[in-house]
Amino acid sequence: MSIIRLTLFDQILETKDEIVANTLWKALEIREFLNSKHTHTTWGAALAKALNYPAPMSPQLQEPLLTAFELIRFGHLSGRNYSKSYPGSYVVGNDQEKQHVLLISRTLSLVPMQFKVSEFLLAGSYWMFCLDAALWLLRLCYCKKPHSNNQH
């Protein structure tokens, strides 16, 4: 019978906090915010600075910030059109102003908000609805645990 010797890096996780911390570290490493030595990459340093500026961020804004960083990194959170325009989009202003409005709209769609119920509904942009649907799916993939109908 051989004896297995554990090094400092091979220790077994024992507490819930250790498991959660290591899971978060590994997720950030897979998303390339940390490297294998658990130090920040360029994106990780920017995320850490954003999470702690000017003071530690409230927990409900951490997920939207991480999502924003992922979208920026892959070029999806910008003022550029994804494809040709369709009726129902904004038409006021020059091209630069339209890009600014589009970027602000996309950015604000990441932040959880609650609005008062109103009898008046504004016409929305087709692409804003598409972005909202994509973000809903992203949140569903990252945050929701699969539900099981099996009763054990």
Q: Domain-by-domain residue ranges, the chain?
A: 13-60
Q: What is the dihedral of CA 88, 89, 93, 95, to 10 degrees?
A: -140
Averaged over 88-101, what is the pLDDT?
Answer: 76
Residue 38 identity: H
* pLDDT at res. 12: 79
Q: What sign results for the dihedral spanned by CA atoms 13, 16, 22, 23?
A: positive
pLDDT value at residue 8: 62
- What CA–CA distance (Å, rounded) separates 130 from 126? 6
Please answer whether residues 82 and 96 qualify as being in contact, where contact means their C-beta atoms are separated by less than 8 angstroms. Answer: no
How long, in residues, is the chain? 152
User: What is the structure's pLDDT at 112?
Assistant: 80
Is residue 32 predicted with pLDDT exceeding 90?
yes
Instruction: Work out the mean pLDDT of the chain and round it to a whole number.
Output: 78
Q: Is the pLDDT of residue 124 over 80?
A: no
pTM, entire model: 0.62
Residue 118: band (very low, low, confident or very high) from pLDDT cuts 50, 70, 90: low
Nearest-angstrom CA–CA distance, 16 and 146: 21
Tokens of 106: 């996309």
77 contacts 114 by C-beta, under 8 angstroms: no
Determine the pLDDT at residue 151: 47
Q: State the Cα torsion 110-116-117-122 to the nearest 10°.
A: -60
Decide if 41 contacts 73 (C-beta within 8 A). Answer: no
